[in-house]
Structures are given as structure tokens and as C-alpha cells.
Amino acid sequence: MKQLSSQKTQELMMLHKQGNIEAAAEMARKLIKEYPKELLLHNILGVCQEAQGDLEGAVSSYQNAISINPNIPELQFNLGAMLYAMNSNKDAISHYKKAIELNPSFTEAFFNLGITYQSQYDYDSAINSYEQAIKSQPGFYEAIGNIGTIKQLQGKLEEAISFFKKSLTIFEDARGNYNIAGAYRNLGNLSLSIKHYRRAVEIGSGEAEFYSDLGDALWHEGNIKEANRFLRMAVEVNSSHPRSNYQLGVFLYDNKAFTEAIQYFESAQIGDWEERILYCLYKLEKYDQFKQKLDSLVKQKNSSPFLATLSAHYAQNFKIKDPYNFCPSPLNFVCHEQIPELLENNQHLIKELIEDINTSDIGQRKQSRLTAGIQSSGHLFRRPEKSFKKLSDALIKTINGYYLRYQNEDNEFIRSFPKDISFSSAWYVKMQSGGYLSSHIHEEGWISGAVYLSIPKDSGPDGQEGAIELSSDGDEYPRLHDEFEKKVILPNVGDVIFFPSSVFHRTIPFDSKEERICIAFDVKPELR
């Protein structure tokens, strides 16, 4: 058999080494015609095709190389990497496993196998693969960090932080700081979150998301000036980064800079960007533009609580029929009931919850709608305190009962109601004398609610101080008249009030010296 000369091999390798990929690929193709069984040529061609972005060509070349000799682990690995890049995850896993079978200490193959399992939401298999990579290479900080990411996705925030810390001890990189910042934020420790976001920005290479999430955290801390600076820096770094544009848009939106916010939502085009633009147009009283966009969106989306709020308010404002059948007459879906678990054993769980709220290291966030009160940061139901887990479990049972009560209603709110209840957010609100929460909706919720742990005994001369008011109007929406429905409920300790997230709600101010404490939450289905 004709042999490939070492001179030609060296020439080919030099072209690749020098970065002359196109010339190297062309030379490899010519040599393959002459030496079709030369494994090295197929592999080099595959590497070149990969560098050129020709993934299908690279797959073909690696397959040709493997057909010559299937027992080279690096070839199996290379093919697995290409298949993963093409979203052929099942085949990628097969080739990574083959590479490991041929070389049981192939660290990178274990790592890539973990990444592939993680992308498939097979977290147990992913963790096992990462652990094997770490066993092979104890200082493999990326694998340690990835286990932290999985733990965070599972809501195991303290475990996640432990892995992130270990990873950062081995090598302090920007991504590691960014990851641990997110975990601390979810846990409610806003100050540590900001510290690590700052460090990520400091040692990073200009990733937009680092600036954006730092800005967002600073905003929640109440540092408006610095938040504005970092949010704008994010879109300067990468003007096409969707989430950075969206976060800046939300910041401007919340600070009533509606005209400017629109341009960033248009650049973002993620999540509820269209509803956010509608909101801005409505607040600016640009009714013709609003109506044109509303009519278009109503035809496209059938499951947007935010769109339901806007459509219903416009219809009532102009006294026309609401064209959107998300949740007609949403006040009929307000539910007020007791949670038995909170009233058992002399309100033991309530006392436990209040104790944990008052003594646990839970950060606070600035809330522009809240007067004479504080709101917790992070996700309360992802914290380690047992009381929050007990409350979460009790609420899940109550929400399932809520659904059964309304299950025969013919609207999208019920048809797409979350079947597997998980909380997208949860936080406490503590108010003192003079406290209130101004009218708002939960734009990112589906069904929302509040559990009441402490209510002032004195509800004032009209019996409504400290009550919750639910309405079809609020948030300083433009009003052409005052004929909007509302419902006022004065809860008792141990009560929960559920309502569609599209419903406006506020706390009526109270003068009592007693504290008002509730835990609020949102639940949202996985919509496809």
C-alpha cells in the first residue's frame, strides 16, 4: 500500500498550526484522494472543517477516520463533540461513552458527557460524569462549578454555593464569581451577590450579562444611579444581547421612562417584550398605536396574563367588549380561605415562620411600591429553613384545591393552569404603621397569592385598614371614568388569598402600631 510521506504530513500539520485552515483543508482533501485509508488525513480534515463551521463535514470526516480505526478514543471524542454541537445528543453520548471505554481516565470525555446529560436535564447522570472527571483530575474547577450550577437549578442553593466556593478556591474566574452571585441572590443575600457580580465584571472579558445582572442587583438594593450605569454598560458592550436589552427596558419602564424603554424591548424580543411595549404605549396614552398592536397580539397569544390586564382595562376604559378570553371577570377567581396547617397546634407553624423571618440572614430589596415596610430578596421557598418548606407544601395542597374548584371554567387561565405546582417566586412583606403597597399586578406570574402571618387587630373606623383591595383598575393606568370593579378583603391570621396574576391589588394603608406580615408568591405553568 502506498505510504503518506513524512514531508507531506509535516507540511499539512504546519499549515494547520499556522492557522491557514482553508489551505490545510484543501491539502487534506487532495491527499485523501491519493491516500483514502490514511486516518490522520481524515482527522485533520475534520478539525479544519470544525474550525470553518462546517459541522456536517466534520462529522463525516471523523466517521471516515473511525471506520479506519474505531479504537482511538480521541476520534470518538471529536465525533461526540460535533454531534453535540448539532444537537444530536443521544449519538454524542454514545461516542463519549465509547471514548471513555477506550480510555477510562479520559477526563475531557467525562466532562463533555456531563455537559450533554445536563443539557438533557438528566442531572443525576451529569453529576456522576462530572464527579468522574474530578476523580481523574481533582483540580478540574469547571466540573466542580458545573455541579454547583446543577444544584442551583435543583433549588439546593447552599450546596450550590459550596461547590462554587470550592471551584473559586482552585481558580478564581469571572464565570465562577457570576455563578455564585446568582446563587447568593436566589438565597436572598443581596450584598454578597453584588460583591461577586462586581468581581465578575472586574476580571471578566466584557460579558454583557455580567454588567446587566450587576445593574439589576444594584437596582434591587436601591442604588438607582449605579444600576442605571451598569445596565447601560451591558448594552454598550453588546447591543444585540437580548436579556441585557430587556433588563434595561424593565428598569426604564419601572422608572417611568416609557418612550426610551420601548426601544430596548424592541431590541430584546424575549419574554413578554411585546406586552411591555403595549404597557408603555398605554401609559403614554398613545391609544391608536396601542389598539393596533393589541389587536395583533390578541390573535397571536392566548395565554398571557399581562396581555389580559391590558386588554381588559382598555375594554373597560372605552366601554367595549374585551376580545381576550384569558380570564374574563377575573375578580370571580379571587379565593379567600384558611390554611389548616397554619392554625394547628396553637399556630406553631406561624410562630416558626415569623421567627425565621426575623432571625434568618435574609436580605432585603428596595421596592418602590412599598411604603413603611420591607420586602425580602431572593426566593423564600428555596431557602434551607424548614418552616418555608412546610408552608410551601401546605400551599401546594391548597392551590390544587383551588384548581379543582374552577376546573370546569372555559378560559385559558384554567385550561393552562399549572398541573405540577412549583413556585416561580416567593417573598415576605413586613409593614409597620402607615404601611401600604400601591396597586400593581404580577407581570411574570399566572396565579398569585399571599399568606397572612400577622394582621393588626385594629382595622380602623371603616374596618378596611390593612385589607387587600383587588380591582380591574390600578397602577396609575389612564382612566376615562371610575366605573371599575373592586373587591376588598380583610384577611385573618392563617388565611391565604389567591387571585389571577392579571388582577390589580394593593394594601390599604393602616395606622395600627402592630406589624402586618405576609408571604407572597407566584406560580407559573411551563407553557409550550
Query: What digits encode the pLDDT tens for the residues 90-122?
Result: 999 999 999 999 999 999 999 999 999 999 999
Cβ atoms of 230 and 181 closer than 8 Å: no
- Does 1 have pLDDT greater than 80? no
Give yes or no: residues 213 and 280 share one domain.
Answer: yes
Cell of 130: 462530572
Averaged pLDDT for residues 283-301: 96
- Does 205 have pLDDT greater than 90? no
- Please give the share of the chain, as a percent, with pLDDT higher than 70: 99
**Residue 11 pLDDT:** 87
How much is the mean pLDDT over the chain?
95
pLDDT digits (tens, 9 = 90+) for 15-38: 888 989 999 999 989 998 888 898
**Residue 476 pLDDT:** 96
- CA neighbor of 305 nearest in space, from 417, 390, 407, 193: 417
pLDDT digits (tens, 9 = 90+) for 148-174: 999 999 989 999 999 999 999 999 999
* Residue 322, in any domain of the structure: no
Amino acid identity for residue 17 in this structure = K
SS3 of 375, please? strand
- Does 221 have pLDDT greater than 50? yes
pLDDT digits (tens, 9 = 90+) for 35-72: 889 888 999 999 999 999 999 999 999 999 999 999 99
Q: What angle do CA 406, 412, 417 make, to 5 degrees?
A: 60
Give yes or no: residues 391 and 347 share one domain.
Answer: yes
- Does 206 have pLDDT greater than 50? yes
**Which residue range is the domain that position 36 belongs to?**
6-205
The CA-based dihedral angle spanning residues 313, 476, 224, 280, taken in that order and rounded to the nearest 10 degrees: 40
Give yes or no: residues 274 and 391 share one domain.
Answer: no
- The alpha helices in 238-286, defined as continuous H runs, are 242-254, 258-268, 273-283
Give yes or no: residues 163 and 32 share one domain.
Answer: yes
Last residue of a domain, one of 205, 236, 253: 205
**Residue 214 pLDDT:** 98
| Entry pTM | 0.89
* Residue 305, in any domain of the structure: no
Give yes or no: residues 185 and 222 share one domain.
Answer: no
Give yes or no: residues 197 and 225 share one domain.
Answer: no
**Residue 489 pLDDT:** 98
* Residue 308, in any domain of the structure: no
Give yes or no: residues 244 and 227 share one domain.
Answer: yes
**Residue 72 pLDDT:** 96
Provide the edge-to-edge strand list for the sheet that holds 504-507: 486-489, 468-471, 504-507
pLDDT bin (cut points 50, 70, 90) of residue 9 is confident
Element (H or E) spanning 491, and its range? none
Give yes or no: residues 239 and 278 share one domain.
Answer: yes
Cell of 164: 462554587
Quote the distance between the C-alpha of residue 459 and its chain's center.
Answer: 39
Last residue of a domain, one of 184, 205, 226: 205
Give yes or no: residues 212 and 79 share one domain.
Answer: no
Give yes or no: residues 244 and 361 share one domain.
Answer: no
**Residue 528 pLDDT:** 43
Averaged pLDDT for residues 241-268: 97
Residue 96's region, left for phi above 0, alpha for psi from -120 to 50, else beta, is alpha
* Residue 318, in any domain of the structure: no
Averaged pLDDT for residues 209-215: 98
**CATH value at residue 385:** 2.60.120.620
SS3 of 476, please? coil
Structurally, how many domains does the chain consist of? 3
Cell of 490: 380583610
Strands (E), 299-344: 335-338
Last residue of a domain, one of 147, 175, 205: 205
* Residue 250, in any domain of the structure: yes
* Residue 311, in any domain of the structure: no
Pairing mode, strands 516-523 and 423-437: antiparallel
**CATH value at residue 105:** 1.25.40.10
Give yes or no: residues 249 and 378 share one domain.
Answer: no
- Does 526 have pLDDT greater than 90? no
- Does 303 have pLDDT greater than 80? yes
Give yes or no: residues 411 and 475 share one domain.
Answer: yes
* Residue 380, in any domain of the structure: yes
Owner of C-alpha cell 378560559: 411
pLDDT digits (tens, 9 = 90+) for 337-390: 999 999 999 999 999 999 999 999 999 999 899 999 999 999 999 999 999 999
- Does 2 have pLDDT greater than 90? no
**Residue 325 pLDDT:** 87
